[in-house]
Amino acid sequence: MHPQVALLLTLVLLLAAGDGGLVVGTLPAIITRTCVDVGRGGQVGYDSCVEALSADSAAASAKDARELAVVATNLTVANVTSTVLVLDDLVKNLGECLRYYRDMNKTLEGVVGDLRAGRLKAASQKLLDATEAPSSCDMLLFEGSAEKNPMSKENNDAEWHMRLLACRRRILGTDVKFNSWSHATY
């Protein structure tokens, strides 16, 4: 669980369980007392607590622990909503990467068949077509709203294997080179 989510859930539980005794005249006293109480649990530090509660302007108008619990809950909802959006984006983009790699797999199976049959030019063209999957997947994941690439190692490995195959240009009978964007050119 993300540390901020744990912090906010802890705040919600502590504040909701309170008896309203944290009603103090000013916001800093409410936040200070709440964060001192939360900090005693050892899971969330005082500074992190203050930072999280201060991130929402609604905390400034909280009159008691219950209202502060609402603020903490709203912060948790925002965090979870953001996480859901990141996961949705990753799932969508990983699905597209899966399609890239399935197409690449079929194409490379065709390269093997063409090589076995002596169709070097056809194999070379198919190899060119297959080289784009790893970098296309990388770009899709990095440019997505998640800006995360859980496939980085696998994409790098696939690209390395494609380079290894391209280095065997004598076998293919063509000159295969990779440009700076990792796409093959002949």
Confidence check: pLDDT of 96 > 50: yes
Domain count across the chain = 2
Cα 130 versus chain centre, distance: 26
Q: Are residues 91 and 77 in the same domain?
A: no
Q: Are residues 76 and 90 in the same domain?
A: no
Q: Which of 82, 116, 136 is the last residue of a domain?
A: 82
Q: Give the residue numbers spanning the domain of 32.
A: 3-82
Q: Are residues 93 and 110 in the same domain?
A: yes
What's the pLDDT at 31?
Answer: 85
Helix (H, G, I), strand (E, B) or coil at 148: coil
Quote the tokens at residue 159.
């690209």
pLDDT in tens, 129-184: 888 899 999 999 988 888 888 989 998 998 888 877 776 654 555 554 444 344 44
What's the pLDDT at 95?
Answer: 96
Q: Are residues 33 and 112 in the same domain?
A: no
Q: Are residues 68 and 133 in the same domain?
A: no
What's the pLDDT at 181?
Answer: 40
Comparing 82 with 6, the larger pLDDT belongs to 82
Q: Which of 82, 99, 129 is the last residue of a domain?
A: 82
Q: Are residues 93 and 181 in the same domain?
A: yes
Q: Are residues 28 and 59 in the same domain?
A: yes
What's the pLDDT at 178?
Answer: 43
- Cα dist. 22→38, 56, 158 in Å? 13, 19, 58
pLDDT in tens, 7-58: 555 655 555 544 433 333 344 588 888 888 888 878 888 888 888 888 887 8
Distance CA 130, CA 120 (A): 15
pTM: 0.63
Q: Are residues 16 and 76 in the same domain?
A: yes
Comparing 42 with 91, the larger pLDDT belongs to 91
Q: Are residues 51 and 18 in the same domain?
A: yes
Helix (H, G, I), strand (E, B) or coil at 51: helix
Q: Are residues 72 and 116 in the same domain?
A: no
Q: Are residues 67 and 139 in the same domain?
A: no
